[in-house]
Structure 1
Amino acid sequence: MKSIDRMKWLKFVVLVMGGGTVYKLANLKDAFYVPMQQYLGLSNAQIGVLLSVNSLFATALFVVGGYLSDRFQARRTISLGMVGAGLIGIYLSTFPGYNQLLVLFAALAVCSDCLFWPALLKAIRNLGNSDEQGRMFGFLEGGRGVIDTLVAFSALGLFVVMGSGPGGFKAAILMYSVIDILVGVLTFFLLSGADKHAPAERNASQISGLAALKMAIRLPKLWLVSLNVFMVYVVYCGLTYFIPYLKYVYGLPVGLVGAYGIINQYGLKILGGPLGGYLSDKKFGSAISYIRAAFFALIPMMAVILCLPGNPDYMIAGMIATLGFSLIVFTMRGVFWAPMEEAGIPNEISGAAFGVACLVGYAPGMFAFMIYGALLDAFPGVTGYHYVFGLMTAMALIGICVANVLARVTRTGRAARPATAA
């Protein structure tokens, strides 16, 4: 048993490594925004178009990825996505022109969001039993945060060591690419046992990809799980605006702005995922129940943020309050896929189910920032931020309602299953 457990967690670590690196090339702007402008010859608008193209292709291809993950072995689609992203990165390191970059960023969406992500979620679900889903997905999110941070800072360090010029930027891109390829190859060999023995993989051949997609679409519980993810994600998108809010309202110094951003985007991700998984599995016994309670907790936390006096004397209090709010959201992000098991979504169609859920759940990424940004432009100053935070609070209230319905439907389904079996 100990040997089996060790292999299970070894596979988990490799999957987490993939999850923490496969998006690095598509998100070069996180650490290399200025080098992208200087050495790829891009304007701000062109970088925005590249990101939009990547997001649009990603959203459109989630369902296709779910179809493929039910039709083919997880190790094949995951490995193909990782190696494909790495090869694209190698070409990207030659600094191609803008038209070529448009194609490359669309291709990165094919590799990461179509081939990789739905298959990763399915593989993580199959690694854990029904009592471990919260922890598995929580540790996935936390582990991705660790890998994300280590790889990003390593690439940034390489860039600096190489002179912070075009050579350093090329070296950083190649580093991301090589890591993707190596992790992809490792995943192919390490997950071979899982593909051979996992019940989900044995059953997947019994249902064609298209039939699995049709079954998934007809499941009301899947749409509730997807909407639950949607509500968490639309609130999560609003966390971005805590950084300019603290700078504008409390006069946060430039150095503290950078430190706050790292903690808010990386540190809380590392802590929030495992914490959410632990609370879901050990304290609440249900990811759905935990997410509902967390939505409730966001309301008074946001009230504190809105009621704090807007002057530098309350800077530390503002930082603590916003970080507390963000931590709760990150614990929810860590487990918002765990209800798949709890809701009784059949394992043999989990790839298609994750594809549909990703399409719906991550949809706020296409419009939430535009809405929040429009509010800030329409209402300059602290008023705009208060409107944004008020909208986030309204979304949390709707999230409570969605989680309530999902919990009730899930309880009804569990109660009906034994009777049906009898």
Structure 2
Amino acid sequence: MAAIKTANSKKWISFGTLLLGAGTIYKLGNLKDAFYVPMQEFMGLSHTQIGTAISVAGLISTFGFLASIYLTDRISKKIMIPMALLGICLCGIWLSTFPSYGVFLLIYCLLAICADMLYWPTMLKTVRLLGNEEEQGRMFGIMEAGRGLVDTIVAFGALSIFAAMGSNAAGLRMAILFYAAVPGVIGIIAYFLLDPDKKPAANQEGRQVSANQAAWEGVLSALKNKNIWLVSMNIFMVYAVYCGLTYFIPFLEEVYALPAALVGAYGIINQYGLKMLGGPIGGFISDKVLHSATRFLRVVFIIVAVALAVFAFLPHGSMGVVLGMTFTLSIGALVFSMRAIFFAPMDEVRVPREITGAAMSMGSFIGYLPGAFMYAIYGGILDKMPGLQGYRVVFLIMAVFAVLGTLLSSYILRHIRKG
């Protein structure tokens, strides 16, 4: 009994460490979220330069996920997690010098490597291995909610420092250093709290292999695994719908004339509140009520598809702003509940645990791909079709992805039942 309690304590200590890292690893890469105007004013950056840096970093992230298919199972989390967090810290210190634009671009690329190639797939792998099949939904749901809470606390901490310093260049520099110090401290803590990965002495056929050969065989095994592709494409469908949530704010501003005072409040609720609410609820329902993350995804896909189709044709001109906000936030909460647990089905489809790193990396690469082009598609539609007509098309496209997700989830469930 004592051994079980000790193991359980170690599990949640490791989980808490990963959660703290997940809530801080992206703060510097998303510096624009809280400090867009100060970046322009004190770092001398234009809209184009900031946008270019984010786009280049996104491209690096895409290739980083590909590289992580090999790296995540090759290098132990005890090395990978602290290295990523300390790398973020060093990049932040460099960024606080307000370097030239060429160096700024390089730093953003390094931030993408640390966050998306080194940290994120390794974190997903570790979370999956920490929980058994009955805990997957809750583990991923709590992770999503927890990192949203940490994200919020750290963001407000940086904003407080910036304001206390006089909202000037020195304040921005200290806010950046704060964003750098937090993951640096967590990285040091992670090195001492995380256990090294257990290296297999033999491959899946029982043959003695080196760690390098085992990692490459894991990559090939993951690429050939139909179940990993199915789960990854289901993540793709969720993320394609998720990208559309960005346009709820301009929709409410343009169509409902959302007051400026409510825009910020809506944004905070939409970005942080729904993440903290949807994660635990999605995890609990998938584990305790439906006993299947895939079944939960199918049910919510159906609800979201119907809700978006109905919402697209509602008489928005005669509806009140409160009703419009309630409807959009409800859809957002549903999507966030799916996003919180969309990696959980990896256990449900029996992906071998020894290739978990490669599986999570593949899921990240394929699943997050809509972020590389869906924003451009949605934005292009709104530019070509201004007003309510354009938003209706965007909502209907989101509904189509939800329908595709429903069909794919149903296929995965049939596939699971067949064993």
TM-score (norm: length of structure 1)? 0.94
Residues 394-414 of structure 1 show CA distances to partners (whole Å, capped at 9, x for unaligned) of: 11111111111111122222x
2:62 corresponds in structure 1 to 59
- What is the Cα deviation at residue 322 of structure 1? 0.5
Match of 1:97 among 92, 96, 100: 100
- What is the Cα deviation at residue 142 of structure 1? 0.7
2:79 corresponds in structure 1 to 76
Alignment of 1:253-402 (within 5 A): 253-311=259-317, 313-402=319-408
2:180 corresponds in structure 1 to 177
Q: Aligned partners of 1:183 and 1:90: how far apart in 2?
A: 16
- What is the Cα deviation at residue 63 of structure 1? 2.2
- What is the Cα deviation at residue 196 of structure 1? 5.3
Q: Aligned partners of 2:389 and 2:220: how far apart in 1?
A: 46
Match of 1:87 among 83, 87, 90: 90
Q: Aligned partners of 2:321 and 2:203: how far apart in 1?
A: 53
Q: Aligned partners of 2:277 and 2:139: how far apart in 1?
A: 14
Q: Aligned partners of 1:199 and 1:251: how far apart in 2?
A: 63
Match of 2:221 among 215, 224, 230: 215
Q: Aligned partners of 2:128 and 2:43: how far apart in 1?
A: 39
Q: Aligned partners of 2:71 and 2:79: how far apart in 1?
A: 10
- What is the Cα deviation at residue 66 of structure 1? 2.8
- What is the Cα deviation at residue 197 of structure 1? 9.9
Whether the 8 Å contact between 1:249 and 1:382 is mirrored in structure 2 is yes
1:190 corresponds in structure 2 to 193
Whether the 8 Å contact between 2:309 and 2:399 is mirrored in structure 1 is no
- What is the Cα deviation at residue 201 of structure 1? 12
Q: Which amino acid aligns with 2:97?
A: T
Over the residues paired in the alignment, what is the CA RMSD in angstroms? Answer: 2.0
Whether the 8 Å contact between 1:250 and 1:312 is mirrored in structure 2 is no
Whether the 8 Å contact between 1:238 and 1:389 is mirrored in structure 2 is yes
Whether the 8 Å contact between 1:302 and 1:389 is mirrored in structure 2 is yes
Q: Aligned partners of 1:206 and 1:288: how far apart in 2?
A: 33
Q: Aligned partners of 1:384 and 1:104: how far apart in 2?
A: 37
- What is the Cα deviation at residue 209 of structure 1? 1.7
Q: Aligned partners of 2:410 and 2:305: how far apart in 1?
A: 16
Q: Aligned partners of 1:198 and 1:337: how far apart in 2?
A: 24
Whether the 8 Å contact between 1:246 and 1:252 is mirrored in structure 2 is yes
Whether the 8 Å contact between 2:219 and 2:355 is mirrored in structure 1 is yes
1:417 corresponds in structure 2 to none
- What is the Cα deviation at residue 105 of structure 1? 0.7
The percentage of counterpart residues that share the same residue type is: 47
Q: Aligned partners of 2:347 and 2:212: how far apart in 1?
A: 20
Whether the 8 Å contact between 1:216 and 1:353 is mirrored in structure 2 is yes
- Unaligned residue ranges in structure 1 (runs of 5+): 414-422
Whether the 8 Å contact between 2:69 and 2:361 is mirrored in structure 1 is yes
- What is the Cα deviation at residue 311 of structure 1? 3.5
Q: Does 1:108 align with 2:108?
A: no
1:157 corresponds in structure 2 to 160
Residues 217-264 of structure 1 show CA distances to partners (whole Å, capped at 9, x for unaligned) of: 001111111000000000000000000101111111001011001001
1:411 corresponds in structure 2 to 417
Q: Helix, strand or coil for the counterpart of 2:134?
A: coil
Q: Helix, strand or coil for the counterpart of 2:26?
A: coil
Q: For this pair of structures, how many residues does the alignment match?
A: 412
Q: Aligned partners of 1:58 and 1:40: how far apart in 2?
A: 24
Whether the 8 Å contact between 2:305 and 2:400 is mirrored in structure 1 is no
Q: Helix, strand or coil for the counterpart of 1:337?
A: coil
Whether the 8 Å contact between 1:301 and 1:324 is mirrored in structure 2 is no
Whether the 8 Å contact between 2:199 and 2:211 is mirrored in structure 1 is no
1:419 corresponds in structure 2 to none
Q: Aligned partners of 2:139 and 2:74: how far apart in 1?
A: 23
- Unaligned residue ranges in structure 2 (runs of 5+): none
Q: Aligned partners of 1:198 and 1:5: how far apart in 2?
A: 23
Moved >6 Å (runs of 4+): 197-204
